[in-house]
């Protein structure tokens, strides 16, 4: 220990127990052995210096306990302040990160799908009805335009909601902005068409 006096066995056990507790916290936090040893040496030196200032020699167990009580608890030596729960916390934190990224991607995907899916649906239905009209020899009525718009609105409304939840992220803001513009623009066109043809 490099002390000016030698601790008896009872006092040394008190010091060793405190150092063992600190080492356990540091080991569970994943700190390398060399770094753990440096910290333990510093704490041990601090205990010795405090005992030297407290007593003129031959400190008692009560002196050692009093000095240790003035020190920080072993848990405070963990690099991230979480002690033995560090590994578990890293596993727990991984799930929200994945969820956050997935929600952003879903929002942006819905925004893109809101353009592609209704468009493909409208083209496919138009193609099918054009063939049926050729076969029937007369014009057939179909309301797929409303179906396409409902589909369009559902995709973009969902994208706006999810994008708003993750608006602090780039994909979240992009999904919310794109879908808001498209949905608002389409609604405006419907209103204009209604007044023009009513």
* Domain ranges within the chain, ordered by starting residue: 9-81, 90-197
Task: For the chain, give the mean pLDDT.
Answer: 78
Closest of 126, 146, 144, 140 to residue 194, by C-alpha: 146
Q: How far is CA 192 from CA 26, 60, 94, 149, in A?
A: 69, 92, 49, 15
pLDDT of 169 over the 60 cut: yes
Q: Angle at the Cα of 119 (from 128 to 191), degrees rounded to 5? A: 110
Which residue would you say has higher pLDDT here, 109 or 198? 109
Which residue would you say has higher pLDDT here, 134 or 160? 160
Q: Which residues contact 108 (CB under 8 A, 6 or more apart)?
A: 159, 163, 171, 172, 174, 175
Rounded Cα gap, residues 8 and 6, in angstroms: 6
pLDDT for res 114: 84
Record the pTM.
0.40
pLDDT in tens, 33-79: 999 999 999 999 999 888 888 887 788 999 999 999 999 899 988 87
The SS3 assignment for 5 reads coil
pLDDT in tens, 103-153: 778 888 888 888 888 878 777 877 776 777 677 766 655 555 667 778 888
Rounded Cα gap, residues 154 and 163, in angstroms: 14
Ramachandran angles phi, psi of 143, nearest 5°:
-110, 35
pLDDT for res 167: 78
Q: How confident is the model at residue 89 (pLDDT cuts 50, 70, 90)?
A: very low
């Amino acid at each position: 220990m490099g002390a000016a006096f030698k601790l008896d066995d009872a006092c040394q056990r008190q010091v060793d127990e405190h150092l063992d507790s600190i080492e356990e916290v540091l080991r569970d936090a994943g700190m390398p052995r060399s770094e753990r040893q440096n910290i333990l040496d510093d704490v041990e030196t601090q205990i010795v210096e405090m005992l030297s200032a407290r007593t003129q020699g031959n400190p008692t167990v009560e002196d050692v306990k009093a000095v240790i009580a003035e020190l920080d608890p072993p848990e405070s030596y963990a690099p991230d302040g979480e002690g033995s729960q560090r590994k578990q916390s890293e596993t727990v934190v991984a799930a929200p990160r994945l969820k956050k990224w997935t929600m952003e991607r879903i929002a942006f995907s819905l925004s893109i799908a809101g353009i592609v899916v209704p468009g493909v649906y409208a083209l496919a239905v138009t193609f099918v009805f054009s063939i049926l009209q050729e076969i029937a020899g007369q014009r057939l009525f179909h309301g797929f335009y409303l179906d396409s718009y409902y589909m369009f609105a559902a995709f973009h409304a969902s994208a706006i909601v999810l994008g708003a939840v993750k608006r602090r992220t780039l994909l979240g803001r992009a999904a919310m902005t794109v879908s808001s513009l498209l949905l608002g623009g389409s609604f405006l066109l419907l209103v204009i068409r209604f007044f023009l043809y009513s």
